[in-house]
Amino acid sequence: MTKYLISFPSEAMVLADEEFPIVVAESHAVIEEAKAAGVYVFGGGINAEVDPVLVGADGSVSGEIYPGSVLTGGFAVLELPTREDAVAWAGKLAAACRCSQELREFGFDPAS
């Protein structure tokens, strides 16, 4: 089976304050559904309070990341039999999160 990344940037989720608890509950329900279906691998949200760093091969750490590299928001990694299944799960998360989701397919690596 193929692993898929379903994600959205923070700025895509535009909610009124009173909607936030509802969206959290509904998105968690979709994740629980994915777990029950046996397709959930990992998920979460990027902590916007901690700045990313760039780590070199020598272990050096820089506060500057690659130009244009921006990763915010939430994501889920699901392992699914078809792209159509991935689109269906992305649709469930889009409905729960009140914003469209980006869908990416991980390439197969026999060593992983």
The reply to whether the predicted model has a pTM over 0.75 is: yes
Token duo for residue 99: 């914003």
Q: Output the pLDDT for position 81.
A: 97
| Bridge partners for 55 per DSSP | 61
Q: Is the pLDDT of residue 20 over 90?
A: yes
Asked whether the predicted pLDDT for residue 102 surpasses 90, the reply is: yes
CA–CA separation, 16 and 70 (whole Å): 24
pLDDT number for residue 87: 98
In this prediction, residue 70 has a pLDDT band, given cuts at 50, 70 and 90, of confident
Query: Are 77 and 42 in contact, with CB atoms under 8 Å apart?
Result: yes
